[in-house]
Amino acid sequence: MTRRGEPPTDAGLYIAVLRLDADRRIRVGRLGRFRFGRGVYLYVGSAQRNRSARLARHGRRRKPRRWHIDYLSTNATMLGAILIPGRREDECRVAAEVGRLCPRFIEGFGASDCRCGGHLFCAGEW
């Protein structure tokens, strides 16, 4: 049970941590084709319900590609996720904070429903 105004327990923000083992050229939907260097990527997202199912989907390689993250996650290994309490409207603020630490990788990635620069960041080569 949650308090009034709090998101349900299986809801909130997350940072999915993905590792790409080799350099790849990947088409990301309508954004186009990009060169992803081998390394670790951080993707900031939100789920207002069923966050665990959303993260499980990110971890699967075999799936229909519907969202930007699907194009990367079908080629990468998901190492885990950082769970953050918060609402959908906090997602861009968290992305901005991650952006202070890591460079944004693709302008607009994961941000088709908001006005911020993107939600995918490169944490560096591993």
**Torsion over CA: 99, 102, 107, 109 (sign):** negative
What Cα–Cα distance (Å) separates residue 28 from each residue in 59, 74, 126?
17, 11, 23
Report the predicted TM-score, pTM, of the whole model to 2 decimal places.
0.90
- Secondary structure of residue 97 in the 3-state scheme: helix
Residue 39 has pLDDT above 70, yes or no: yes
The rounded distance, in Å, linking the Cα atoms of 45 and 54 is: 10
Mean pLDDT over each residue of the chain, to the nearest integer? 92
**Torsion over CA: 36, 40, 44, 47 (sign):** positive
Residue spans per domain, the chain: 12-124
Interacting residues of 105 by C-beta distance below 8 A, sequence separation 6+: 36, 41, 118, 120, 121, 122
26 vs 4, which has greater pLDDT? 26
